[in-house]
Amino acid sequence: MFNTHNFRRAMMALVLAAASSLAAAAGTFTVELDTSGYGGSGYIDIQLNSVPTGAVSTFADLNHFVGWGSSADAQLSNVTGSLATGFRIENVYGGYNDLFHAVDFTGGKVSFTVSFSGDADPSGQYGSVFSVALYGPDQMTLLGDSASADGSLVHLNWTPSTTVGGQGSAVGETLGSGVVTTPVPEPSTWAMLAGGLALLGMLRRRQRG
């Protein structure tokens, strides 16, 4: 006999599992910084460094820029690309892997998306830290109430897959107020979530009928 109560519980578990996987296995994040109290303009500093010493090749691809200013005095170290095409940062071992770029605070928000990729690490020993900080127009004064010694407002900690062709994972760590990091789900996760919600909706309509 069909048990609607058990079916509802099973579908809810499916929806919750899909939602929880967004943060657990995300390779893409939206990073948003509240800049409403910082005046007119300043700079964003983004780094990608291996932890611990010894790098597994990793890339961070940045796109969908909001509140970014002129690239005229941008400083790129092991970074390729532009605002128009997107930036790619590589965690070169022993290098200074840094994107330092002008931003505009007047819109109240500076944001971008970042996607991680790279080689597998069968040893499971190595990862990378993606850090974001804001500076004033003098390029020296750190902004925000960071709890980190390096002044970063957010860290995204990337763990490579242990198998070739597998999917690594990133976990966000907010270090200051006014910061939002949102995992962007893979298409398969969206499909699972949408399917579970659709089945729950059909069940409700049948019960009402």
Tens-binned pLDDT, residue by residue, of the chain (209 aa): 445 555 555 444 443 333 333 333 458 999 999 999 999 999 999 999 988 767 789 999 999 999 999 999 999 999 999 999 999 999 998 888 999 999 999 999 999 999 999 999 999 889 999 999 999 999 999 999 999 999 999 999 999 999 998 889 999 999 999 999 998 875 544 344 444 445 445 555 555 55
| DSSP conformation class of 137 | T
Distance CA 153, CA 131 (A): 8
The set of residues, in sequence order, having a beta carbon less than 8 Å from that of 115 and lying 6+ positions away, is 27, 28, 60, 61, 63
d(CA 101, CA 139): 10
- Model pTM? 0.78
